Amino acid sequence: MNKTIWKFRAYTIWQDKAEAVWLSKMAEQGFQVKNVLPYLYIFEKAEPEQVTFCHDYTQIKKAELDNYLQLYQDAGWQYVMRYGNWFYFKSKDGKQIYSDEYSMSLRNINISRGLFKLSLYLLPLSLLSAFIGEQLQWDLLHGLGTGLSASFAVLSLVGGALWFKQKKQLQNKEQ
Protein backbone atom coordinates (compact mmCIF):
# COMPACT_ATOMS: atom_id res chain seq x y z
CA MET A 1 0.00 0.00 0.00
CA ASN A 2 1.29 3.48 -0.91
CA LYS A 3 2.00 5.88 1.89
CA THR A 4 0.10 9.15 1.44
CA ILE A 5 1.00 12.36 3.21
CA TRP A 6 -0.75 15.72 3.24
CA LYS A 7 1.19 18.98 3.50
CA PHE A 8 -0.15 22.49 4.06
CA ARG A 9 1.61 25.29 2.15
CA ALA A 10 0.24 28.77 1.49
CA TYR A 11 1.62 29.67 -1.93
CA THR A 12 0.00 32.40 -4.00
CA ILE A 13 -0.22 32.36 -7.79
CA TRP A 14 2.79 34.68 -7.97
CA GLN A 15 4.94 32.25 -5.96
CA ASP A 16 4.93 29.48 -8.54
CA LYS A 17 8.75 29.29 -8.66
CA ALA A 18 8.99 28.77 -4.90
CA GLU A 19 6.25 26.15 -5.11
CA ALA A 20 8.07 24.38 -7.95
CA VAL A 21 11.35 24.32 -5.96
CA TRP A 22 9.52 22.85 -2.95
CA LEU A 23 7.83 20.17 -5.10
CA SER A 24 11.24 19.28 -6.57
CA LYS A 25 12.69 18.92 -3.05
CA MET A 26 9.78 16.71 -2.02
CA ALA A 27 10.45 14.49 -5.09
CA GLU A 28 14.12 14.24 -4.02
CA GLN A 29 12.87 12.94 -0.66
CA GLY A 30 10.71 10.35 -2.44
CA PHE A 31 7.32 12.07 -2.30
CA GLN A 32 5.49 12.61 -5.57
CA VAL A 33 2.72 15.19 -5.66
CA LYS A 34 -0.59 13.60 -6.68
CA ASN A 35 -3.12 16.34 -6.06
CA VAL A 36 -3.36 19.97 -5.04
CA LEU A 37 -6.23 21.63 -3.24
CA PRO A 38 -6.20 25.22 -2.00
CA TYR A 39 -3.02 25.31 0.14
CA LEU A 40 -3.05 21.54 0.57
CA TYR A 41 -0.76 19.12 -1.26
CA ILE A 42 -1.22 15.36 -1.38
CA PHE A 43 1.90 13.25 -1.90
CA GLU A 44 2.52 9.53 -2.32
CA LYS A 45 5.72 7.79 -1.32
CA ALA A 46 7.76 6.84 -4.37
CA GLU A 47 11.36 6.41 -5.45
CA PRO A 48 13.38 9.60 -4.92
CA GLU A 49 14.10 11.43 -8.15
CA GLN A 50 15.90 14.55 -9.32
CA VAL A 51 13.30 16.55 -11.26
CA THR A 52 12.42 20.13 -11.99
CA PHE A 53 8.79 21.12 -11.57
CA CYS A 54 7.23 23.87 -13.62
CA HIS A 55 3.74 25.25 -14.05
CA ASP A 56 1.83 26.54 -16.95
CA TYR A 57 -1.32 28.59 -16.67
CA THR A 58 -3.74 28.35 -19.55
CA GLN A 59 -7.44 28.39 -20.17
CA ILE A 60 -7.92 25.54 -22.58
CA LYS A 61 -10.90 23.83 -24.14
CA LYS A 62 -11.34 20.12 -23.51
CA ALA A 63 -11.05 19.40 -27.25
CA GLU A 64 -7.57 21.02 -27.31
CA LEU A 65 -6.25 19.39 -24.13
CA ASP A 66 -4.65 16.31 -25.73
CA ASN A 67 -2.70 18.44 -28.23
CA TYR A 68 -1.61 20.81 -25.46
CA LEU A 69 -0.29 17.96 -23.29
CA GLN A 70 1.37 16.31 -26.31
CA LEU A 71 3.23 19.55 -27.06
CA TYR A 72 4.78 19.48 -23.59
CA GLN A 73 5.53 15.77 -23.79
CA ASP A 74 7.31 16.30 -27.11
CA ALA A 75 9.40 19.01 -25.42
CA GLY A 76 10.47 16.58 -22.68
CA TRP A 77 7.98 17.47 -19.97
CA GLN A 78 5.98 14.87 -18.09
CA TYR A 79 2.44 15.91 -17.19
CA VAL A 80 1.81 15.51 -13.45
CA MET A 81 -1.60 17.00 -12.76
CA ARG A 82 -3.96 19.89 -13.24
CA TYR A 83 -5.39 22.28 -10.67
CA GLY A 84 -7.92 24.62 -12.25
CA ASN A 85 -6.11 26.37 -15.08
CA TRP A 86 -2.70 25.46 -13.65
CA PHE A 87 -0.88 22.53 -15.24
CA TYR A 88 1.99 20.89 -13.35
CA PHE A 89 4.86 19.32 -15.29
CA LYS A 90 8.19 17.80 -14.35
CA SER A 91 11.40 17.22 -16.26
CA LYS A 92 14.64 15.43 -15.49
CA ASP A 93 16.89 17.80 -17.45
CA GLY A 94 16.43 20.94 -15.31
CA LYS A 95 15.05 23.18 -18.01
CA GLN A 96 12.30 25.74 -17.45
CA ILE A 97 9.07 26.17 -19.40
CA TYR A 98 9.38 29.94 -19.36
CA SER A 99 13.03 30.67 -20.02
CA ASP A 100 12.76 34.22 -21.35
CA GLU A 101 11.13 37.47 -20.29
CA TYR A 102 8.79 37.65 -23.29
CA SER A 103 7.15 34.25 -22.72
CA MET A 104 6.90 34.98 -18.98
CA SER A 105 5.11 38.24 -19.79
CA LEU A 106 2.62 36.36 -21.98
CA ARG A 107 1.94 33.94 -19.16
CA ASN A 108 1.50 36.76 -16.64
CA ILE A 109 -1.00 38.43 -18.97
CA ASN A 110 -3.00 35.17 -19.01
CA ILE A 111 -2.90 34.96 -15.21
CA SER A 112 -3.96 38.59 -14.77
CA ARG A 113 -6.76 38.17 -17.30
CA GLY A 114 -7.92 35.04 -15.47
CA LEU A 115 -7.96 36.90 -12.13
CA PHE A 116 -9.86 39.76 -13.68
CA LYS A 117 -12.48 37.46 -15.21
CA LEU A 118 -12.87 35.47 -11.99
CA SER A 119 -13.43 38.59 -9.95
CA LEU A 120 -16.00 39.87 -12.45
CA TYR A 121 -17.95 36.61 -12.09
CA LEU A 122 -17.76 36.55 -8.30
CA LEU A 123 -18.37 40.24 -7.60
CA PRO A 124 -22.10 40.15 -8.54
CA LEU A 125 -22.61 37.00 -6.44
CA SER A 126 -21.03 38.57 -3.39
CA LEU A 127 -23.06 41.76 -3.87
CA LEU A 128 -26.22 39.67 -4.14
CA SER A 129 -25.41 37.80 -0.92
CA ALA A 130 -24.80 41.12 0.85
CA PHE A 131 -28.15 42.43 -0.42
CA ILE A 132 -30.05 39.25 0.54
CA GLY A 133 -28.37 39.20 3.95
CA GLU A 134 -29.43 42.77 4.59
CA GLN A 135 -32.99 42.18 3.41
CA LEU A 136 -33.39 39.08 5.56
CA GLN A 137 -31.43 40.69 8.40
CA TRP A 138 -28.93 37.86 8.45
CA ASP A 139 -25.90 39.64 9.81
CA LEU A 140 -23.50 36.82 8.97
CA LEU A 141 -24.58 36.62 5.31
CA HIS A 142 -24.62 40.40 5.01
CA GLY A 143 -21.16 40.73 6.54
CA LEU A 144 -19.76 37.91 4.46
CA GLY A 145 -21.26 39.29 1.26
CA THR A 146 -20.01 42.79 2.00
CA GLY A 147 -16.51 41.56 2.82
CA LEU A 148 -16.36 39.37 -0.27
CA SER A 149 -17.68 42.20 -2.43
CA ALA A 150 -14.91 44.47 -1.24
CA SER A 151 -12.33 41.71 -1.76
CA PHE A 152 -13.51 40.92 -5.27
CA ALA A 153 -13.68 44.61 -6.17
CA VAL A 154 -10.04 44.98 -5.13
CA LEU A 155 -9.13 41.74 -6.91
CA SER A 156 -10.77 42.93 -10.13
CA LEU A 157 -8.94 46.25 -9.92
CA VAL A 158 -5.59 44.59 -9.22
CA GLY A 159 -6.14 41.88 -11.83
CA GLY A 160 -7.20 44.42 -14.43
CA ALA A 161 -4.31 46.75 -13.61
CA LEU A 162 -1.79 43.90 -13.82
CA TRP A 163 -3.30 42.71 -17.08
CA PHE A 164 -3.04 46.13 -18.70
CA LYS A 165 0.43 46.78 -17.24
CA GLN A 166 1.78 43.48 -18.56
CA LYS A 167 0.17 44.07 -21.93
CA LYS A 168 1.72 47.55 -22.19
CA GLN A 169 5.16 46.21 -21.20
CA LEU A 170 4.84 43.49 -23.81
CA GLN A 171 3.87 45.99 -26.51
CA ASN A 172 6.87 48.15 -25.59
CA LYS A 173 9.19 45.12 -25.93
CA GLU A 174 7.75 44.27 -29.34
CA GLN A 175 8.53 47.77 -30.68
Whether pLDDT at 108 is above 70: yes
CB 26 within 8 A of CB 43: yes
State the pTM of this model.
0.70
Name the DSSP letter for residue 77. P
Segments making up each domain of the chain, as ranges: 4-91, 101-174
Give the tens place of pLDDT for each residue, 89-105.
999 987 888 777 777 77
Cα angle vertex 168, ends 86, 88, to 5°?
A: 10
